[in-house]
Structure 1
Amino acid sequence: MDDQSAIPESDPVALFDAWFAEAGTSEPNDPNAMALATATPDGNPSVRMVLLKGHGPEGFTFYTNAESRKGGEILANPRAALLFHWKSLRRQIRIEGSLHEVTAAQADEYFHSRPRVSQIGSAASDQSRPLPGRQTYLDRVEDIAREFPEGDIPRPSHWTGFTLVPQRMEFWLGRPNRLHDRRLFVRDESAAGDGWTSGLLYP
Structure 2
Amino acid sequence: MSRVYTRTGDRGETSLITGERVPKTDPIVEALGAVDELNSSIGMALAELGNELLSTILRRIQSELFALGADLNSTGKDIQGLPRVTPVMTERLEREIDGMLEMMPEQRTFILPGGGKAGASLHFARAVARRAERRVVAASGKSGFNPEILRYMNRLADFLHVAARYANHTGGNEESAPVYRD
Task: Give the TM-score, by structure 2 length.
Answer: 0.25
Larger proportion of strand: 1
Larger proportion of helix: 2
Greater relative CO (CA pairs within 8 A, separation 6+)? 2
